[in-house]
């Protein structure tokens, strides 16, 4: 059993392609089959090495691996169609010689027989029947001698010994053409599986007009690979038992093309985000810290200093509980990085008051006086000061929050102060005192 995917390097790997790749991979891994990745670059105008690299890179990022093909090698050369033009031309001319195809305006067209039926079994759609009368003669070799998709892809599948072709439903109407070519080649006809498409929120095939749907863009947005993997599985398939969160092994164990739903699914990035949050929260705190630092450095375009790392180390556990995406980290911890600090003046006005001023003033003195600047001492101090002045938590705490973190929205207050350290906290309080 051998499956494949054949992306075209005419753009970045997008979410629809990678879902097809994922299902192929799952089926192969689940049935002991092998998985091949080839590059369909007959469109030499639009194909680039950068896109090819993006595809390979992002497939790997998701955790998909393949046994044969581009990047890993195998017995069939470099697995790029651009390297096989001779082979396609040879076959096209053989077809002409045997009367199966004919020249037309410099191109070569495959002659579709009349009044025949093409039948095949599709794993998700069942028995399919097409009338050849509804299929036009189609070009297999362009006038510039380059092959079209129909010839190149079909010949590759035959030459590489693919036994199951699972691809997007958009090529279901082309399948009769491919079977005709296979018959002309006297090849074994593989099994077919036409997977439903992924749609945008408007219910149309996912494409550029839905914004950037590349896998890379989701990585850039801070989506974790396990969350992406898990979410993608859920689009058109389910492991049963209303199970939504599961790992690779479970997916491999239960996956089958036969229970992939036949209808298209709309890609919902809200649910992806929610699931991403789940995966962030379940990360080992060390892994989370490492990954966070890399995202922060990326956003800041600089390395972090040692004392910044120390401060981060104290706040990250709280941050891990409240973000949905890794890129949200930077703004959460910005107040304790060595970056320009500024209090949001509008928010300051909304929390400032005479009572708040009094609280801030006394808090500053008490923080100076604390013997051990520990989390519990900070909390203890702040709470008892609240009692002493007979203030509501909201009055004292929110003013402190804005003063120290610059905004009303921040990680937990005591942790924030603890992470920021005594000196800076006191300095920031001083700044706010008597500030209109």
Partner RNA sequence: GGCCCCGUCGUCCAGAGGCCUAGGACGCUGGGUUUUCAACCCAGAAACGCCGGUUCGAAUCCGGUCGGGGCUGCCA
* Near RNA by CB under 7 A: residue from 63, 113, 173, 211: 173
With H, G, I as helix, E, B as strand and everything else as coil, classify residue 121: strand
Q: Is 331 in the site for RNA (CB under 7 A)?
A: no
Question: Which lies closer to RNA via its Cβ, residue 24 or residue 153?
Answer: 153
DSSP 80: B
* Near RNA by CB under 7 A: residue from 49, 65, 90, 266: 266
User: What is the smallest separation between the CB atom of 120 and RNA, expressed in angstroms?
Assistant: 11
Q: Is 170 in the site for RNA (CB under 7 A)?
A: yes
Output phi, psi for 431, to 5 deg.
-60, -35
Residue 78, CB-side half-sphere exposure with 13 Å CA sphere: 9
* Near RNA by CB under 7 A: residue from 80, 93, 111, 142: 142
**Which tokens go with 390?**
């007979």
Q: Which of 277, 259, 421, 401 is nearest to 338 (CA)?
A: 421
The site string for RNA over 7-46 (x = CB under 7 A, - otherwise) reads -x-x-----------------------------x-xx--x
Specify the residue for token string 């890399």: 294
Find the largest Cα–Cα distance for the chain.
100
Distance CA 370, CA 221 (A): 41
Output phi, psi for 145, to 5 deg.
75, 5
Q: Is 157 in the site for RNA (CB under 7 A)?
A: no
The site string for RNA over 186-215 (x = CB under 7 A, - otherwise) reads -----------x-x---xxx----------
Question: Do the bridges between strand 107-110 and strand 138-141 make them parallel or antiparallel, or are there none, so unpaired?
Answer: antiparallel
User: What is the smallest separation between the CB atom of 366 and RNA, expressed in angstroms?
Assistant: 17
The site string for RNA over 58-97 (x = CB under 7 A, - otherwise) reads ----------------------------------------
**Which tokens go with 327?**
């890129």
Q: Which of 369, 375, 368, 381 is nearest to 412 (CA)?
A: 375
* Near RNA by CB under 7 A: residue from 24, 148, 352, 425: 148
Q: Is 412 in the site for RNA (CB under 7 A)?
A: yes
* Near RNA by CB under 7 A: residue from 213, 214, 264, 403: 264
Binding-site size for RNA (CB under 7 A) equals: 78
* Near RNA by CB under 7 A: residue from 401, 406, 420, 425: 401
Per the rule left: phi > 0, alpha: psi between -120 and 50, beta: everything else, 434 is left
The site string for RNA over 241-260 (x = CB under 7 A, - otherwise) reads -x-x--------------x-
The site string for RNA over 374-393 (x = CB under 7 A, - otherwise) reads -----x-------------x
**Over the Cα atoms of the chain, what is R_g?**
30
């Amino acid at each position: 059993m051998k499956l494949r995917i054949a992306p075209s390097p005419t753009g970045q790997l997008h979410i629809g392609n990678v879902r097809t790749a994922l299902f192929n991979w799952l089926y192969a891994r689940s049935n002991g089959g092998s998985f091949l990745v080839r590059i369909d670059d007959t469109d030499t105008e639009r194909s680039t090495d950068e896109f090819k690299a993006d595809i390979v890179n992002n497939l790997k990022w998701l955790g998909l691996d393949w046994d044969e093909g581009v990047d890993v090698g195998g017995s069939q050369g470099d697995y790029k169609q651009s390297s096989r033009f001779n082979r396609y031309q040879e076959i096209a001319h053989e077809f002409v010689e045997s009367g199966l195809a004919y020249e037309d305006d410099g191109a070569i067209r495959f002659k579709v027989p009349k009044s025949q039926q093409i039948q095949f079994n599709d794993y998700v759609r069942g028995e399919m029947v097409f009338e050849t009368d509804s299929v036009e003669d189609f070009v297999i070799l362009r006038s510039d001698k380059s092959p079209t998709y129909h010839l190149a892809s079909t010949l590759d599948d035959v030459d590489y010994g693919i036994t199951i072709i699972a691809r997007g439903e958009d090529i279901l109407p082309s399948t009769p053409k491919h079977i005709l070519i296979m018959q002309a080649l006297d090849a074994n006809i593989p099994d077919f599986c036409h997977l439903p498409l992924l749609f945008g929120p408007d219910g149309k095939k996912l494409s550029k007009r839905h914004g950037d749907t590349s896998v890379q863009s989701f990585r850039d947005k801070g989506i974790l690979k396990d969350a992406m993997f898990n979410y993608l599985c859920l689009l058109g398939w389910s492991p049963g038992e209303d199970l939504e969160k599961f790992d690779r092994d479970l997916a491999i164990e239960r996956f089958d093309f036969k229970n992939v739903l036949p209808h298209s699914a709309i890609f919902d990035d809200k649910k992806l985000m929610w699931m991403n949050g789940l995966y962030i929260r379940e990360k080992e705190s060390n892994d989370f810290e490492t990954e966070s630092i890399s995202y922060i450095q990326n956003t800041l375009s600089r390395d972090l200093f040692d004392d910044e790392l120390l401060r981060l180390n104290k706040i990250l556990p709280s941050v891990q509980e409240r973000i949905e995406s890794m890129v949200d980290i930077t703004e959460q911890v910005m107040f304790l990085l060595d970056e320009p600090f500024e209090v949001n003046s509008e928010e300051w006005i909304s929390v400032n008051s005479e009572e708040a001023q009094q609280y801030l003033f006394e808090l500053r003195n008490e923080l100076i006086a604390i013997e051990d600047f520990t989390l519990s001492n900070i909390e203890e101090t702040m709470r008892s000061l609240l009692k002493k002045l007979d203030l509501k938590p909201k009055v004292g705490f929110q003013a402190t929050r804005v003063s120290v973190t610059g905004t009303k929205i921040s990680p937990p207050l005591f942790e924030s102060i603890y992470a920021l350290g005594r000196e800076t906290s006191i300095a920031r309080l001083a700044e706010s005192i008597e500030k209109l």
